[in-house]
Structure 1
């Protein structure tokens, strides 16, 4: 029987790259996200290319009711999840704290913290019942240091860092692995979402240097998940060669 990976935020970027990587390695997949058309298209592509089974579930990770009802509504065989990749996350705006948007703050807190908690509670209970599992949380360099105008986004990713450590301790007696990966700048839809669809502004974020790619992160997550049973990678910080810290970037 194939192993199963559940990936949140699978419709683009790192989540989509993880779907391809784990399918390539023979995992059946549960893919979640808000855009059902993208989920269905990706599922068909993965099934055709890798001959794996793919279940899709479209819901808003910010809604506790939607997360619980959609995940618990999966057939029993899909609840034998081996790897949960808590990938769903975003940033909204880049404003100083006095000019920040309440709506942007709510979106980031509800997605990056609450959404991760909702999915983790449901799936960790499945893993406890199954007697094994591995949760991989997507953090950020923003969860290790703060930068100007990053305030609330940085706070949410610091929360992910803390929750990762808390999960590791709480799930230790159950033999469940817990890991976090904290990327620096990755060229995905991230900046476009942060700047509310302004493609030109988003593109300038990566001018003059080579950022990480979604596939770089997916391959690293696969490395984390594929270690032997006695090995757990607690925490991993991964950066572009041209980026030494959140604000120290060498641009040509």
Structure 2
């Protein structure tokens, strides 16, 4: 891959560029540029999955500890979000606690009755069933470690949404289509539930429309998005900096 070769040859550079969207092996956007010794790069170098990207929203993610490594006790990943990223709409996780630990930059965590701004080194744990949302209101990229305990299906959700983004199957606002969302709600309702519309309404809609979605080929997971080769072919990975 030409871009990786260039980075490897320029060993004296103080920064590293990665995460660019690849088409036929060639980068088509700017990707990410971080200092080589930044905590984000140091963490990413330890990732146990490829770097995922959502080119539509400019978001990135990678697994640091997979559920398989802990027998489902927990999972941990690194998320990188661009300036002004809204993050997901308010939601709850019915079966696990979720901890956010800021690595670089700052995040606003919205909790019932309060809004917290976290900076590097600060963390918050959102207990099971607590409505929450998060966003990056700053003017720079921000990264955080996200841990689910016990392990949920966070990795599956990220792979699905980011994969759909690469295939041009999200709406202009970066959401899945209605029928895709109904299949997800039906199969992943035990992992993530959005607070609007009310969950009872979502359940009725999912019960009615998810069978139609499946008949039309929609799935909650797609094998290609679980394949490392998919991401290595579409996202410029962090080069070896050792």
**Higher RCO by CA contacts (8 Å cutoff, separation 6 or greater):** 2
More strand by share: 2
TM (normalized to structure 2)?
0.29
TM-score (norm 1): 0.29
